[in-house]
Amino acid sequence: MALQSSMRWRYLKEGFFFGLVRLSAFVITAALGGLLFYIFFNGLGAISWGFLTLPPTDSMTKGGIMPAILGTVYLTLGAIAIALPLGITSAIYLTEYARQGPLVRVIRIGVNCLAGVPSIVFGLFGLGLFVVFLQFGSCILSGALTLGILILPTIIGASEEALKGVPQTFREASLALGVSKWQTIYRIVLPSAMPGILTGSILGIGRAAGETAPIMFTAAAFFTAKLPSSIFDEVMALPFHIYVLATAGTHIEATRPIQFGTVLVLVGLVLVVDLVAIIIRSTIRKRKRW
């Protein structure tokens, strides 16, 4: 009798905790869905061909956001161009070449710490180093460098994981054929790790596209209808544009639809990038068999 009641109590507890788990999964999904729906619902009205292809007009209360879209694309591409080679080579050094010891451990801790630094700190660092000290001024180059450093830990982390995931037997097979270490890395290890490196990196890219604080002092213009002609030009950027319209504009209430439209474009951009990552990963996973 006592046994039976204790069993019932166990089932009750189990049911309760499973319910809790289910509930939290549901809450997260609902929150995400609600957020996306809210943005979509409020922003869709603002989207038109003109909105995507024209510069803002009338003190940014009318017109489009094309310069900001373009600016974000430039900044993000610049950040990738800087962070991807640097991140991949660092990861190769850490996993393939460096003797595993205290030095490598210190570097790894450093990289992880970098990942936890608030993005505004990166913004101030970029302002101090690139804008002021190196005298690049507020421009695409400074912004891309700052964003590049911001996403570097993500890319190093993803690359390290991907490199570690390449079976040791591949390296051994290649080296045993009298192939040098560098050629082994270049011909066997890197191609096998590439899908992992790319997916991890693309997720970092999504983050770079959405950050406001790092570009606030280093690249983003309050308003410029002129499109950039070199990497030393200031640009508008989607996240900063939203920030400006929502807090510093002269017609905050009147520009709500434009604000939501811009948010929708930014979210759409990031989702597309993430989607690409997911597609790359799943197609390569199907091809890979080890």
Binding site for other proteins (CB under 8 A): 99-100, 167, 169-180, 183, 187-188, 192, 288-290
Query: Judged by CB, which is closer to other proteins: 9, or 97?
Result: 97
Degrees, nearest 5: CA angle 35-69-66: 115
In angstroms, what is the minimal distance from the CB of 163 to other proteins? 15
Query: Judged by CB, which is closer to other proteins: 128, or 167?
Result: 167
Contact predicate 123/215, CB 8 Å:
yes
In angstroms, what is the minimal distance from the CB of 172 to other proteins? 6
In angstroms, what is the minimal distance from the CB of 276 to other proteins? 23
Length of the chain: 290
In angstroms, what is the minimal distance from the CB of 111 to other proteins? 21
206: closest CA among 275, 114, 258, 118? Answer: 275
Query: Judged by CB, which is closer to other proteins: 102, or 178?
Result: 178
Query: Judged by CB, which is closer to other proteins: 4, or 169?
Result: 169
In angstroms, what is the minimal distance from the CB of 180 to other proteins? 5
Query: Judged by CB, which is closer to other proteins: 247, or 287?
Result: 287
Cβ atoms within 10 Å, residue 198: 21
Query: Judged by CB, which is closer to other proteins: 196, or 228?
Result: 196
Contact predicate 274/203, CB 8 Å:
yes
In angstroms, what is the minimal distance from the CB of 282 to other proteins? 17
56: closest CA among 242, 285, 199, 189? Answer: 242
235: closest CA among 61, 30, 76, 37? Answer: 76
Query: Judged by CB, which is closer to other proteins: 14, or 172?
Result: 172
Q: Residue ranges of the alpha helices (H) in the chain?
A: 2-43, 49-53, 66-92, 102-116, 119-126, 140-164, 168-176, 181-184, 190-210, 213-216, 238-247, 256-287
The tokens of 241 are what?
A: 């544009």
In angstroms, what is the minimal distance from the CB of 97 to other proteins? 11
The 8-class DSSP code of residue 25 comes to H
Cβ atoms within 10 Å, residue 65: 27
